[in-house]
Structure 1
Amino acid sequence: MTARKKPQMLKPSTAAKKLGIHLPATPDEFREGTVSREEMAALLQNPPQWLTDLRAQGPHPRPVVAEKLGVSIAGLARAGVDEVLTTEQIDALLADRPEWLRAEREVQAGVRAENRRISRRRDAE
């Protein structure tokens, strides 16, 4: 007889982080329960409407905001952007292009270029 494995459970905060969503914006049943690995796979493969809406409209957590703006999380902090933003707010920033956003996008472009240079150098060795 083999012992049945207990399913791995994720805390709501971990599941939200893996889904790229802001935990306080999720439904109560998601925040108050746990999520199994199987449930997580089902959420990724066939997301419910609330998850689809959150991913499309936000509010988005800082890593997602940084990605959508093309800056780093540290760049958001330097600019004083420490709250979650909706897609509408992100689009407004991208349309307006404040000076801090231009500067941080340049920094991020420089970091990416340096990472590519280092990667090419490693590949050549």
Structure 2
Amino acid sequence: MSKPRKPQVLKPATAAAKLDVYLPATPREFQEGQVSRDELDELQRNPPQWLVDLRRDGPHPRNVVAARLRVSNSGLARGGVTEALTTAEINALAADPPEWLVRERESYAEVRREQRRIEERRRDGAG
């Protein structure tokens, strides 16, 4: 007879990444504990108020900030954004974009267009 499976647990940083939240902004219990796969699934299905608030208001991790500003993570770094930003800070940047943000958005859009073009050629050539 086989032993019952041990539930897989995630480190807080991994769980925060999967939830798209900035770990230092999460509750202390979340930062210091471990999260099972079942708990992670439950957090995604029925987020507690702290998670709802964090996703809405931030601070947000770099990948979320980059996506909301429509730039790459590298573009954020080139623009000097090294810290997590709140939704209000992201909205303020988007409303009155500095030169670096305009430049990075153009660059990112061009990279995305090129990726789509290559993918279309690959699909057309394979079909």
Q: One fold, TM greater than 0.5?
A: yes
Please state if 1:94 is matched with 2:84: no
Supply the RMSD in Å over aligned alpha carbons. 0.5
SS of aligned partner of 2:107: helix
User: Which residue is 2:10 aligned to?
Assistant: 10
What is the number of equivalent residue pairs in this alignment? 125
> 1: distance between equivalents of 2:37 and 2:28?
19
Return the alpha-carbon distance in structure 1 between the equivalents of residues 29 and 83 of structure 2.
24
| Deviation of 1:64 (Å) | 0.4
* Cα displacement (A) at 1:2: 2.4
Amino acid at match of 1:63: N
- After superposition, give the CA deviation of every residue in 1:75-109 in whole Å (9 maximum; x if it has no partner): 00111110100000000000011111100000010
1:112 counterpart residue number? 112
Q: Given residue 27 of structure 1, which amino acid in structure 2 is its aligned partner?
A: P
Structure 2 residue runs of 5 or longer lacking an equivalent are: none
Amino acid paired to 1:28: R
Identity of aligned residues (%): 62
Alignment match, 1:40:
40
Residue in 2 aligned with 1:59? 59
Distance, in Å, in 1 between the alignment partners of 2:15 and 2:73 is: 20
Shift >4 Å, 4+ stretches: none
The one-letter code of the counterpart of 1:113 is R
